Structure 1
Amino acid sequence: MTKSLIEDTQEYVFNLLTEKLPNTFIYHNYTHTERVLRSTRELIENSEISNEEAKILELTALLHDIGYTVSTENHEEEGVKLAKVFLKEKGVEERIIKSVMDCILATKFDKEPTNKLEEIIRDADASHFGKKYFNEASEFLRKELELRGIKNYTPAEWRAENINVLTEHSFYTEYALKNWQPRKEKNLAKLMGKKKKRKKKLDVEKLKAKYKAQYKNESPERGVQTFYRTALRNHIKLSDIADTKANILLSVNAIIISVVLANLISKLDTNPYLTWPTIIFLSFCVISMVLSIIATRPNVTSGEFTKEDVKNQEVNLSFFGNFHKMELKEFEWAIGEMVKDKDYIYKALTKDLYFLGKVLERKYRLLRITYTVFMIGIIISLISFAIAVKDNPNVNIKDVLPETSTETSYFTPKKTKENRFMI
């Protein structure tokens, strides 16, 4: 009969929790009920109790959480009501029903057990404290509290809550104290270790943040670095722009000179009045090219330094021109000496910035002169060509312009069958 009653109770509890328990109960569900039942049977096997007491404990383990299907508050009292109705329908004796009801109420965490049966069911209900799956069960409970809207714990808050619960909890039965208590203490030690490690990490982060804020407020280090980085980047960009402008002017003048040499020079024998305009034009182009080349021509320094220069902080190791002839070991030593002194690094960057500025000033000054010469040369050349043509009224324009074809020119239309009659 006992086995039949237990099986009926299992079926009843399974159907009840499956049908009426919300999906948010991911901890207090039938899985938890089965876990408590297994722990109860483990305690029964290792305790001296009667068959009737064993039946009371198994029924309690199955029925202790069915009150959650009615209300989340005071679920023990609601569970007692449902258990009483079910057990009466099954024809269970009143004294057994009374004992089951008392044991269900004894599962309240803030209530002390008053007899051996209540001690066993309390230990079975809290058996996960002393099991390897404690962390898993604990996370399911935390998620359930979040899903039910009771409280949303952070990992650190939940760890502290578990430490408090495990510290305040105590097993009652001799078997639980011998077999589950060591594992509970191990679980508690792990939690405390994680808390200590987390606290140490937070302390380090707070200390870092404190010193970082203090260092940031007391020292302009970050602002200085930003200044040097921005200034050097801008100087390099300006240098690239200057080189691009010089290259453009070189290309334009090279094309002009090629065209003049190929077409205009050959006309000077028959058109001597174009000699001086051509010379003027070519002279200005050549001068523009020379100035462009001078503006972009690199200036390489000696590439050597002495140890005294490094010790006296007189050499700028950030520029290749100061070390390209040195041996690797000497250069590594010099860099090692420089990085030891923050002031030396800033001094080197300052020198680099200064001399970059000097180079830029020279480039842009020469480029300004070059573009001015090119502009004036174009104007003077056009004027000289105009004067030369004006002073020679009998000039045939076809003799001046380059030949493109024996039958076609820029000013004479190509003769076709149609326009031959017009002529």
Structure 2
Amino acid sequence: MKDQEIILKASNYVFTLFKEKLSRKLVYHNYKHTAEIAKEAQSLGESANLNETDLETLVLAAWFHDTGYADTYNGHEERSVEYATQFLAAEGYPADRIQVVADCIMATKKEHHADSLMQDILADADISNIGKESFFSNAELLRVEWEVFLNKFFTDAEWAQYQLDFLVGQSFRTQVAQDKFNEGLKANIQEQRNILGTLSKKQKKNNKKERETLAQPKRGIETMFQSTYQNHMSLSGIADNKANMMISLNAIILSVIITYLGAKTSVLGTEFTRNPILMVPVGTLILTTLGSVVSAIMSAQPEVTSFKIRANKVKSKKVNILFFGNFTKIPLEDFQVGMHDLMREKDALYNNMITDIYYLGEVLSKKYRLLRVSYTIFMIGLILTVLSFVVAVVR
């Protein structure tokens, strides 16, 4: 091209426009990308032996083809045409050539059918990146851009597959672009296949490692239920032992006190007659042992959770028939039918076991609550007994 003035003005205009209005988050569709496409369009146009007028028009379209990104991401081609039209009209560019520039810009739109060599060349220049070594680094920039502006997110494997599908589905329209980029496109397709294969092997390896670290479902579930039942039985046994200890201790204390109070010895009678306030610590100790032993007995006594059982509840699996407190209230025939149903249906069986564990937990919670009350009464009662005894002796 002999006259580069309009091209220089266009490049300066685009540079200023992007500097002032283009988002910094557009890491792919920026001035650098536009300048590369303009350079590639000129090179392909020269190789295609375009005349100077057509070559100038083609390069102008390349400079303006992405200016619409300054205002919008989707549908930027239409906005790019507006920017190009306004600038070229202000520069006195011929109206018919402005229309050619607009048509070339629209030819870069996806699925647009080109109807001239210039449009094909610009479309090829716009995707020339697929035949270059820089394709993979630029693809990552585009991935970031889509995450920000289109809210599209890909895993590495998904992105590799998407890029491979894109490369395989692309072809250059012009012979000059095919001669220049086809070998690079083939190399990039093969490289993308290698990347996808590596990611797939890595994913399979990770999946295998995860499966190896997990217990087998059936064995793991059975182990969980077995461990839970054992824990509940152990905790229940500990609670019963503690309750029996409190019952024995308080029963001994009560027996001793009652024995002494019931003895009609002159020594004991004289002591209480002379110092009747001693009945305060004795009475406190009696009440303490009585409250403590009652709570301990309530904790140790057998507890059975029960419900009103109906046949329809058994059939609907709303009742746990594995628990003796339930199945002893239904006829043998219903129990047999229910058990056979459980053995056929894994979910129903697990649901019954889960229900059983829940109610075992309720019983265990009540045991420990009453046991705590027993120990608390015993502790507070002993303290009050000792304090009242000290007061009685000092007086």
- Which TM class, normalised by the smaller chain length? 0.5 to 0.7
Task: Supply the distance in 2 between the matched residues of 1:189 and 1:9 (Cα, whole angstroms).
Answer: 38
Could you tell me which residue of structure 2 aligns to residue 49 of structure 1? 50
Task: Supply the distance in 2 between the matched residues of 1:211 and 1:157 (Cα, whole angstroms).
Answer: 25
Could you tell me which residue of structure 1 aligns to residue 192 of structure 2? 191
Could you tell me which residue of structure 1 aligns to residue 69 of structure 2? 68
What is the one-letter code of the residue matched to 1:151?
K
What is the one-letter code of the residue matched to 2:13?
Y
- CA apart distance, 1:195: 0.9
Could you tell me which residue of structure 1 aligns to residue 24 of structure 2? 23
- CA apart distance, 1:32: 0.5
- CA apart distance, 1:191: 1.1
Q: Following superposition of structure 1 onto structure 2, how do residues 118-133 of structure 1 map, counting pairs within 5 Å?
A: 118-133=119-134
Q: Deviations over 1:65-120 (max 9, x none)?
A: 11111222211011111111110000001111010000000000221221111110
Could you tell me which residue of structure 2 aligns to residue 107 of structure 1? 108
Taking only aligned residues, the RMSD between alpha carbons, in angstroms, comes to 2.3
Could you tell me which residue of structure 1 aligns to residue 143 of structure 2? 142
Task: Supply the distance in 2 between the matched residues of 1:85 and 1:209 (Cα, whole angstroms).
Answer: 60
Q: Deviations over 1:314-354 (max 9, x none)?
A: xxxxxxxxxxxxxxxxxxxxxxxxxxxxxxxxxxxxxxxxx
Larger mean CA deviation between 149-158 and 118-127 belongs to 149-158
Q: Following superposition of structure 1 onto structure 2, how do residues 285-296 of structure 1 map, counting pairs within 5 Å?
A: none
1:93 and 2:99 correspond: no
TM-score computed with the length of structure 1 as normaliser: 0.50
Larger mean CA deviation between 173-182 and 147-156 belongs to 147-156
Retained in 1: the 8 A contact 2:108–2:122? yes
- Say which SS state the counterpart of residue 4 (structure 2) adopts: helix
Task: Supply the distance in 1 between the matched residues of 2:190 and 2:67 (Cα, whole angstroms).
Answer: 33
- Say which SS state the counterpart of residue 172 (structure 1) adopts: coil
Q: Deviations over 1:291-324 (max 9, x none)?
A: xxxxxxxxxxxxxxxxxxxxxxxxxxxxxxxxxx
What is the one-letter code of the residue matched to 1:117?
M
Task: Supply the distance in 1 between the matched residues of 2:85 and 2:111 (Cα, whole angstroms).
Answer: 23
Retained in 1: the 8 A contact 2:7–2:60? yes
TM-score computed with the length of structure 2 as normaliser: 0.53
1:201 and 2:202 correspond: yes
Could you tell me which residue of structure 2 aligns to residue 3 of structure 1? 4
Query: How many residue pairs end up in the alignment?
Result: 222
Percent identical residues? 30
Larger Rg over CA atoms: 1
**Unpaired runs of at least 5, structure 2:** 221-395
Could you tell me which residue of structure 2 aligns to residue 329 of structure 1? none
- Say which SS state the counterpart of residue 180 (structure 1) adopts: helix
- CA apart distance, 1:212: 4.6
Structure 1 moving runs of 4+ over 6 Å: none
Task: Supply the distance in 2 between the matched residues of 1:120 and 1:163 (Cα, whole angstroms).
Answer: 23
Could you tell me which residue of structure 2 aligns to residue 39 of structure 1? 40
Q: Deviations over 1:178-230 (max 9, x none)?
A: 220111111111111111222123223333443553669769xxxxxxxxxxx
**Unpaired runs of at least 5, structure 1:** 220-423
- CA apart distance, 1:2: 3.1
What is the one-letter code of the residue matched to 2:20?
E
Retained in 1: the 8 A contact 2:18–2:30? yes
What is the one-letter code of the residue matched to 1:24?
K
Could you tell me which residue of structure 1 aligns to residue 166 of structure 2? 165
